[in-house]
Amino acid sequence: MAIKIGAVEAFNITNFDHIPDDRQTKHETIGGVVVQDFGRVEKGDTLSFETDIKAKDKAVFFGYWYNRTYVTIIDEAGNVYEDCRVRVTRHRYVSRDFAKYEHCVLEIWRI
């Protein structure tokens, strides 16, 4: 399976987590009773996963990170997330095929 991150296809996806942004709170008084609503804003969600990318795509992919470029993400299920920022938390060469692939641990921030 693969995930499309901007123009780059990432594959061999592992440890995929969808972390909702549940920091939004609302306090309201209704009829003298204080009501709390712990709502959610989808634009604050974070996607986290490990993946491999082709070495030839490394410059494009890391450009998203360095330049804080907004990209569109299409996940394995076909869900589309627009206006996302890519954060590379770790990366290394893939030991079995050193010159052709890069293994990355990513966070995708929905903006």
Answer whether 84's CB lies under 8 Å from 109's CB. Answer: yes
Answer whether 26's CB lies under 8 Å from 90's CB. Answer: no
pLDDT tens digits along 38-66: 666 667 788 899 999 988 888 888 899 88
33 contact partners, CB below 8 Å, separation of at least 6: none
Sorted by where each begins, the domain ranges of the chain are: 2-110
- Which parts of 5-99 fold into alpha helices (H)? 58-66
Cα 17 to chain centroid distance, Å, stands at: 9
% residues pLDDT > 90 (the chain): 21
> How far is 94 from 33, CA to CA, in rounded Å?
58
